[in-house]
Structure 1
């Protein structure tokens, strides 16, 4: 925490400088609020409209967390399957890469046609953007195992599952948590995109209504909240990562 506080002031100062320049530029150039609101106007809008924005925020958080949980679970299980069965990796890994070349914004309308406007197409969108970083990170992590330790365990008679459980999985934990952090940010993005295409509440709905009525300050409020929400997810995963690795190290002694 102390090291984070020591390092955290630099990006905070840079962000503060950007906001000051933004504020001065808007005021001096007399830019209309509907075109580009000042940071102070955005902040005031967020305070004044907080009661109506809160239900949308809660809806997006629930959708993001559920999609992240499902996507991470599928991604991790896929990585385990591809790692333990090399034939599957050579057959399906290129298809996983191809699946990420299809823009979600293009695929989402098809999901609505196939599955309607309910929860399922939204979860599919978030799962599609979340599972790939976990799969790739976990696969790379499994392959980072020290060859000498692996050879030693094989000579000691360890079976394939024992080798994975006792050696490959612990070595892959840092990579898995890195993939989780990426997926956490993607989950918020995926939730907002899915809400654009049809939902009763959510930050995506809030942004759509605000942009259609040229309430640009509200759009920026939503953008800043999305950024804060993504950072919060990453911070929680980082905290859990540190506690998990610390617990593991204590268990080894």
Structure 2
């Protein structure tokens, strides 16, 4: 005796619009609310405790300065993005060349791989000041 499995296609109703529960609303908006609350607390603490502006400016002062000095912010942003892009491209070219060497020559792999493994154990934040 043989047994065959039969499959049957069943139409499942598609619920296009589910009502949004309070839990989903809270989960969706909680990051925004948290950021607003933190900014209000920051602003209030700086004003109430009379923290010197050069030490900790208020968020409103930072936003106002960013708007007033937009051309300066834009210039430095472009410079930063350019540095990031050229650094990424240079690193990719170096990585491709090093990997091609290690694939082609076993001796190159034996010489280079311990350096790469050692660099992985060092926190990147510790290397950054040395490179700059």
Task: Provide TM-score, normalisation by structure 2.
Answer: 0.58
Q: Deviations over 1:145-172 (max 9, x none)?
A: xxxxxxxxxxxxxxxxxxxxxxxxxxxx
**Structure 1: unaligned runs, 5 residues or longer:** 1-5, 109-253
Q: Deviations over 1:174-198 (max 9, x none)?
A: xxxxxxxxxxxxxxxxxxxxxxxxx
What is the alpha-carbon distance in structure 1 between the residues aligned to residue 109 and residue 30 of structure 2?
Answer: 43
* CA displacement at 1:45 relative to structure 2: 0.7
What is the alpha-carbon distance in structure 2 between the residues aligned to residue 74 and residue 31 of structure 1?
Answer: 47
* CA displacement at 1:71 relative to structure 2: 1.1
* CA displacement at 1:61 relative to structure 2: 1.5
Structure 1 ranges of 4+ moved more than 6 A: none
What is the alpha-carbon distance in structure 2 between the residues aligned to residue 47 and residue 31 of structure 1?
Answer: 23
Q: Which residue number corresponds to residue 128 of structure 2?
A: 104
Q: Which residue number corresponds to residue 102 of structure 2?
A: 82
Hey, which of these two has a bigger chunk of helix by percent? 1
Q: Deviations over 1:71-105 (max 9, x none)?
A: 12322443454356565434312212445647332
Q: Which residue number corresponds to residue 75 of structure 2?
A: 55
* Cα distance change, pair 17–85 in 1 and its aligned pair in 2 (3 A): farther
| Aligned positions, number | 103
Task: Provide TM-score, normalisation by structure 1.
Answer: 0.34
* CA displacement at 1:10 relative to structure 2: 4.4
CA RMSD of aligned residues (A): 3.1
Query: Partner of 2:51: helix, strand, or coil?
Result: coil
Query: Partner of 1:35: helix, strand, or coil?
Result: coil
**Structure 2: unaligned runs, 5 residues or longer:** 1-24
What is the alpha-carbon distance in structure 1 between the residues aligned to residue 111 and residue 61 of structure 2?
Answer: 54
What is the alpha-carbon distance in structure 1 between the residues aligned to residue 38 and residue 69 of structure 2?
Answer: 24
What is the alpha-carbon distance in structure 2 between the residues aligned to residue 36 and residue 30 of structure 1?
Answer: 10
